[in-house]
Amino acid sequence: MQNPQTSTQLAASDLIQKLNLEKHIEGGAFRRVYESKYKVAGNNANNERQIASAIYYLLEGNDFSAFHRLKSDEIWAYNYGSPLTLYVIDKNGALKEIILGDPQNPTYQVTISANEWFAAEINDKSSFTLISCFVAPGFDYNDFELANQQMLINEYPEHANLIKRLTK
């Protein structure tokens, strides 16, 4: 006898399988789906990189995208599933909460500026969210920084509860 599962659990597992998603270092599952064939100079003399790249990114249940930042702008675009909240700490320490995929307040795409700390979580923990993320110049792990919880709390103590909840 099969274990009963909700349709959202089946849909999430179907998408993970059909899209060939793998575990992501910051939480959730992902797969790089695009890398430009064109290249630009990287941050050091021996480093070339793609002009742009894109991934599918899926968060399910209690998964979250832990606070991190990139050295490039990143565009998040809602594809399917439950609404998702992005938390962005700007360079002045102000916290912005952006909900993607909410039909009552339709925002389906947002750009996170380079060097801003951000995290994300699903609004309905019994569901999932599928997002596409675009980075230009193309994503490079050398430009990715996963937040250190204590360092981020020291820098932004007014957001300590959120930082504790959304760091690894």
3-state secondary structure (DSSP) of residue 163:
helix
- The pLDDT tens digits of the residues spanning 51-76 come to 999 999 999 999 999 999 999 999 99
Instruction: Tell me the sheet residues that pair with 40.
Output: 49
Q: Does 44 have pLDDT greater than 70?
A: no
pTM exceeding the 0.85 threshold for the entire prediction: yes
Amino acid found at 104: Q
Q: How far apart are CA 126 and CA 63, in angstroms?
A: 11
Give CA–CA dist 138/159, Å, rounded.
30
Nearest alpha carbon to residue 7 among 101, 81, 108: 81
CATH fit for domain 12-166, picks 3.40.50.12160, 1.10.10.1100, 3.30.300.30, 2.60.120.10: 2.60.120.10
Q: What average pLDDT does the chain have?
A: 91
